Structure 1
């Protein structure tokens, strides 16, 4: 047992020795490795110390290289506009007539974008390029303006004659659609670049100004003949002739202006932006309205010189021009105020004319040195009524003037106090209740002034109430007839009631005053306490004989004298009546009034006393039938 155990120990001891030897070798190797590591660490430090400065230099070189690249890019950007300027300048300098217009405008658009970028960069080095591009854009815009102007001049080279279009009821010519498209393209570009190029705060673009200038001259020149004709047709051939509606050329002038204006508005809308329509349209029409204003001033001077006969031309102008402004405002939304301003002088003249017509009526009557001795009406009555009748043809403007003046505002005192702004722009020509009422009031004043002044003049120049009554009755008859036979009748509904009670009754009463003298001869005294008195008007011939028989000689002589005086006065008045120049309605009316007054009296008187001369006719010259025949001859 001992022997095997020793063998095991010997083997283990050998292994231990081997392990110990290996450990010794490991320690020796570890020391060598540690020495190598120490040497490697020392070498690494040496390498780091040597390489560190090289790495730092490399980083700095990389940053510098990046900066250089950025500088090169900036230089390229600075040089790029210069290169592009050469290309675009060649296109723009060639002009729009040598290429497609859209290509030309596209080149301008590119230059505009580049110019905006350059200005945004705010580099001093780009200032030269900014100046070059600005000049290039201005040149291009000027070239486009020239094309714009040329296209407009081609369409406005020949003026039109508006009268031909008016007479044939044809639409006025407009610019061709292809030209409109080109003009719109040019205007769109110039409008968009105008703000960038403009150095001022001007609101009107070059295309707006060019359009207004060229097309405005075209419209004004086209209307020149109508303007001249309007002034020419105002000249009077007969000094005292009252103006008749439509005689003057102002209506055609207004029609022509309206047609050309609306045609121009149709041109403007496709070319310009919506917010530019009004300004361009107003500017285009400005020169034409200037000429129109001059024409109306000339007409106003003519009206003032012939106010009593041609004030109606003023009313017609107010109506036509106001209607024109309403239609243009409805269709375009413009020109209401400029057109209204052209009417100011004529409005003032028309306002004054209403009072002047009454004053002229009074003045003309007061200057009369004689009146017809046959009681005939004077011409001034017809003249005044013709004026009043003529006003009905211009009822809308006249009513508007009357409304602006107010009731009784046409008198001299009120006219002097009225402001020039009191006459509004006519918005409508529907004559309302106020307008009719004021017209009736004005007509009453005019007719009242006529009749009252004629009555005063008759009392001065005509002898006898009868003649004066005939004179007033004749003049009133003409007034009444001219009202009833014209458009005045529905406008003066209260005329008959108001004036007939006053003036026709006054004339009739004055005329009948002379007939009361023979009527006095037919009045007798009857004693009711005496028997045998016949009923009034109911006695026959037997009764007359009885009555006459019962009279005393003195009473009979008095009756004979009454019949004798009556016969003389009656025949005198019959002859006098037939010597008067009576209007037909006056003649019949006065005859009727005389018959109503005289016949019943004579009939009663004759029934009672015709037997005074026993039928010999020495004193009782007329029986009842003969008297009626004599009275019937008055009609």
Structure 2
């Protein structure tokens, strides 16, 4: 019990101690609480001030960051502005394009603090710099050495390296803002105007360059027209026009590919400007050719026909060329105007040629002189003319159809009725008619000249020589066999018939007097000795005249076979008659000395006659 009491007392003592300790702890904590309250009261203003300072510090830091950002942007804009103002540098075109794209993007999204109008002006400047580069490259490609005058020209030179750069440049220039694609872009109207000027400059430079490349060749065609064959000269002009069309075709491909503005109407208008110098050169060259032909149309008629035929063949290509110029320029057709002028010259050449042949028969010979029995100049010209006609039959047929069947006779032809009027497709027929009239006119002139000769025998040789020359070179052995395709049966019959007539007239004028001396007189005096002596004497006198005449008046000099054939006919005509006459009167002893009158035997006469035709 005492133990328990002692323990209880001990516990009570410990409890009292614990209570005392708790009271002291409470007192201490209360003191701490009071102190903390005082401390909090003291620190609170400082804390509030610190928060304010922290916010200010954050604001200052943000302001500094913003200032740095603005400064950085200003440096970038200044750099881009310097890049734009400097213009695209070699090898840096993509960099320049990217800078312009950023400026356009800032305008589109208004993402820049920069004034939009200032940015638009900078974009406009960039577009102008690009067009300046474009113009510079085109100018470089449109200068230099032109092709040689005697070379084939299919295009005006354009260096491949420049084309590559231009293609890249044009690909971007076509993306620049324009009123149609970017109606709200402030710089779009100005850029549109700039690109129009650049495109106009391109057309002017390429047109001038193309003309320069073609000019020397065109001048060469005119300069050498007098030194080469007329048809060759006309075909040379045709080839030059073909080169001109080839150059124009190539330039159309270029302008479609390299135009900053690719709309069809703008391209057509620019192409028309490009063509103007080229077409002006065509008109000038054609005018020079016509001025060359007109004063000597008789000499250069085939030049006109060949040129006309060449232009007719090129008309479809020319029409295709004109269709690219735009509807507003469709009325102008330089080739059509040139064809009309050339056709007028060709139409004039046909009646003038026939008139020249006809006028040859009216020319008066010089008193005291004899007309040469050789081939007349107008006959030689007629043969040459007909030989060349098939080479330009297309142009000749078209022109003659335009002139009208028979109208080349200058009023002498029969008026053609409507039912028989020739139309397109009748070129072959009208050429046959014209050739027949040429042959008929030549024959009539020859006949007139031969009949006007003072000595019929001389005139007969002239007629036979010329008719034979016509027949030989037109019907028998023409230089160009194609002539036979345009030679009607009527023309061949006319030449063959007149050849036979001329041959008969030759025999009659030169050998009928010989044969007449060997015939018996109807009065019965031929058997008298004196008459026989006179006949033999007269025969050999006339034979001597014939031999002497043929020494100075050669027959068929250019046709040895024909001359030999006529010689054989002469021998068959003269020698048998002489043989019969000699045999008949030699037996009758008309003279004690027959050799005095029979100066040559028939064999000797035959040898002399044959020698005359060798």
TM range (shorter): 0.5 to 0.7
Q: Could you tell me whether the CA contact under 8 Å between 2:436 and 2:488 is conserved in 1?
A: no
Give the counterpart of 1:467 among 437, 444, 458.
458
Tell me what 2:353 maps to: 357
Are 1:271 and 2:261 matched, yes or no? no
Distance 2:284 2:104 in 1: 46
- 1:633 is paired with a residue whose SS is helix
Tell me what 2:480 maps to: 487
Tell me what 1:42 maps to: none
Give the counterpart of 2:344 among 345, 348, 351.
348
Tell me what 2:514 maps to: 518
Are 1:611 and 2:549 matched, yes or no? no
- 1:582 is paired with a residue whose SS is coil
The structure-2 alpha-carbon separation of the partners of 1:384 and 1:109, relative to structure 1 and needing over 3 Å to count, comes to: farther
| Shift, 1:96, TM fit | 5.7
Give the counterpart of 1:633 among 600, 611, 614.
611
| Shift, 1:479, TM fit | 2.9
Are 1:217 and 2:204 matched, yes or no? no
Are 1:145 and 2:131 matched, yes or no? yes
- Deviation sequence 1:46-84 (CA, Å, 0-9, x none): xxxxxxxxxxxxxxxxxxxxxxxxxxxxxxxxxxxxxxx
Give the counterpart of 1:189 among 167, 171, 175.
175
Give the counterpart of 1:457 among 446, 449, 461.
449
Tell me what 1:408 maps to: 406
Tell me what 1:504 maps to: 499
More displaced stretch, 268-277 vs 174-183: 268-277
Q: Could you tell me whether the CA contact under 8 Å between 2:83 and 2:96 is conserved in 1?
A: no
- 2:539 is paired with a residue whose SS is helix
| Shift, 1:289, TM fit | 1.4
- Deviation sequence 1:581-619 (CA, Å, 0-9, x none): 322336435433423433444444445444233793355
Give the counterpart of 1:583 among 556, 566, 579.
556
Distance 1:510 1:332 in 2: 62
- Deviation sequence 1:117-138 (CA, Å, 0-9, x none): xxxxxxxxxxxx9999987776
| Shift, 1:113, TM fit | 6.7
- Deviation sequence 1:381-436 (CA, Å, 0-9, x none): 32343344344443443333234334334344599x9xxxxxxxxxxxxxx98434
Tell me what 2:248 maps to: 261
The structure-2 alpha-carbon separation of the partners of 1:342 and 1:93, relative to structure 1 and needing over 3 Å to count, comes to: farther
Are 1:316 and 2:314 matched, yes or no? no
Distance 1:314 1:331 in 2: 24
| Shift, 1:108, TM fit | 7.7
Aligned 1:87-486 pairs, distance under 5 A: 94=85, 97=88, 100=95, 102-103=97-98, 106=101, 142-163=128-149, 166=152, 172-173=157-158, 175-176=160-161, 177-186=163-172, 188-189=174-175, 193=179, 205-206=196-197, 208-234=199-225, 236=226, 243=230, 245-246=232-233, 250=237, 253-254=240-241, 256-271=243-258, 273=262, 275=264, 280-326=270-316, 337-370=333-366, 372-373=370-371, 375-413=373-411, 434-460=426-452, 462-483=453-474, 484-486=477-479
| Shift, 1:470, TM fit | 0.8
Distance 2:512 2:486 in 1: 35
Q: Could you tell me whether the CA contact under 8 Å between 1:165 and 1:172 is conserved in 2?
A: no
- 1:306 is paired with a residue whose SS is helix
Distance 1:228 1:554 in 2: 83
TM-score by length of 1: 0.63
More displaced stretch, 622-631 vs 345-354: 622-631
Q: Could you tell me whether the CA contact under 8 Å between 1:466 and 1:511 is conserved in 2?
A: yes
Q: Could you tell me whether the CA contact under 8 Å between 1:372 and 1:378 is conserved in 2?
A: no
| Shift, 1:570, TM fit | 3.5
* Unmatched 5+ stretches in structure 1: 1-85, 116-128, 418-431, 527-550
Tell me what 1:54 maps to: none
| Shift, 1:629, TM fit | 2.5
TM-score by length of 2: 0.65
Q: Could you tell me whether the CA contact under 8 Å between 2:537 and 2:597 is conserved in 1?
A: yes
- Deviation sequence 1:180-210 (CA, Å, 0-9, x none): 42353255336964686669x99x9555433
Q: Could you tell me whether the CA contact under 8 Å between 1:362 and 1:449 is conserved in 2?
A: yes
Tell me what 2:573 maps to: 597
Distance 2:104 2:370 in 1: 90
The structure-2 alpha-carbon separation of the partners of 1:183 and 1:230, relative to structure 1 and needing over 3 Å to count, comes to: farther
The structure-2 alpha-carbon separation of the partners of 1:170 and 1:284, relative to structure 1 and needing over 3 Å to count, comes to: closer
| Shift, 1:486, TM fit | 0.9
Aligned CA-pair RMSD: 4.7
The structure-2 alpha-carbon separation of the partners of 1:477 and 1:271, relative to structure 1 and needing over 3 Å to count, comes to: same
Q: Could you tell me whether the CA contact under 8 Å between 1:180 and 1:267 is conserved in 2?
A: no
| Shift, 1:282, TM fit | 4.3
Distance 2:280 2:180 in 1: 29
- 2:152 is paired with a residue whose SS is helix
The structure-2 alpha-carbon separation of the partners of 1:219 and 1:475, relative to structure 1 and needing over 3 Å to count, comes to: same
* Unmatched 5+ stretches in structure 2: 1-75, 326-331, 416-423
Q: How many residues align?
A: 491
Q: Could you tell me whether the CA contact under 8 Å between 2:199 and 2:270 is conserved in 1?
A: yes
Distance 2:555 2:371 in 1: 12
Q: Could you tell me whether the CA contact under 8 Å between 2:141 and 2:157 is conserved in 1?
A: no
- 2:365 is paired with a residue whose SS is coil
| Shift, 1:294, TM fit | 0.9
Q: Could you tell me whether the CA contact under 8 Å between 2:286 and 2:338 is conserved in 1?
A: yes
